[in-house]
Amino acid sequence: MNTEEIREDYPILETGVIYLDNTASTLTPLQVTKAVTEYYHSYRANIHRGIYRISQKASEEYDQSRETVASLINARPQEIIFNRNTTEGINQVALALELQKGDKVLTTAIEHHSNLLPWLSQKTKGVKVEYITPDSEGRLNPQDFREKISEKTRLVAVTHISNVLGNINPVEEIGEICREKNILYLIDGAQAVPHIPVDVKKIKCDFYAFSGHKMLAPTGIGALYIKEDQLQKLEPPYKGGGVVSEVTLEDYTLTSYPTSWEAGTPNISGAIGFSEAVDYLRKIGYNRIQEHEKKLTKQLLKGLGEMGNIRVYGAHDARDRACIVTFRLEDMDSNDMAGILDAREQICVRSGSHCAMPLFKNILKEKEGIRASAYIYNTGEEIEKLLTVLRDYS
């Protein structure tokens, strides 16, 4: 993998910015913006409605994008719902399941708010949310799920990779337990699909949500995998144009999925850009991506570990995590440190609670932290610049 060649695809890097906030959103390569621009300049039209040629072209590109995204996670095209992002995908599932009083949702104490709030909001209906607690490094034990699942458990909802800890969670082992006990299984895959190979069939999940903007695609486009047997049972939560085959003043008939789940005009250009981003990552290859990220992760963990006043969260072994490293300097505000990094070296990191307040409050016993997250265009020299600034405050 030639990082220098890859960096040429990102004009923003020519400004000298060191972008280490990839967990929040990645940069977008020229190939993706070109594909989006081509849609707007050459065949800008709505989809699945017009019989004229540019509408047909737009429909074909949109449908092909679904096939491309589906193949990335070993899903069927009809099992992929395009939406805005991971958050919307999880909320779509929460609404469609129509949980009842007495039902239980089992999740973990390390989740992003997007995999907590949709379930906590169900408490007004009498739904109970239960939690698995991780060990001291934030690791989840599959056997804890086995012991916690009861006859009232309707759904298990787990993050594939923590957006704070970076830990790669044992989702396949948890999936085996869910299948054994006939429990629905949802994965927040926002931080996984950009970094590691994902196979929903191996995971044995019923739902898998992820976002385009975390893997080089435009903002405002995401995907929700719903296993086909669940698509046959669930009612789409949103209704409107494009989802029906027949409407009267008394009733309506939904069209087939996945179209029935995509009410209104979708983000056509976003889907096209999403597909281009998938092709881009595949050309690089996930093996090369993982190898590159592991090298940067080891460098970052080693450097931080040599500083006595820094606490690093998550697994200590780089093989067990993505290049998402959250840490805290003793006696220094995380926002202040993030500002210093930007002012001195144009280093972009995230500071705060990272949409994971319960994790910080209940598990890490901290209010906030600094998160540095690298991706395919980051270099060892950039990691060293980060460490150099931090050493001045250690």
Catalytic residues: 355
365: tokens are 């016993």
Instruction: Output the CA–CA distances (angstroms, integers) from residue 43 to 110, 146, 268, in the order listed.
Output: 44, 52, 11
Taking the C-alpha atoms of residue 347 and residue 381, their distance in angstroms, rounded to an integer, is 12
Spatial distance between the Cα atoms of 193 and 199, rounded to a whole number of angstroms? 10
Structure token pair of residue 69: 């995204």
- Burial of 216: CB neighbours in 10 Å, binned 0-12, 13-18, 19+: buried
* Alpha helices, DSSP H, located in the chain: 3-7, 30-42, 53-72, 86-97, 117-120, 142-148, 171-180, 200-203, 228-231, 268-284, 286-305, 334-345, 357-358, 380-391
Residues 6+ apart with CB under 8 A from 106: 130, 131, 132, 145, 148, 149, 153, 155, 156, 157, 183
Strands 80-83 and 18-19: unpaired
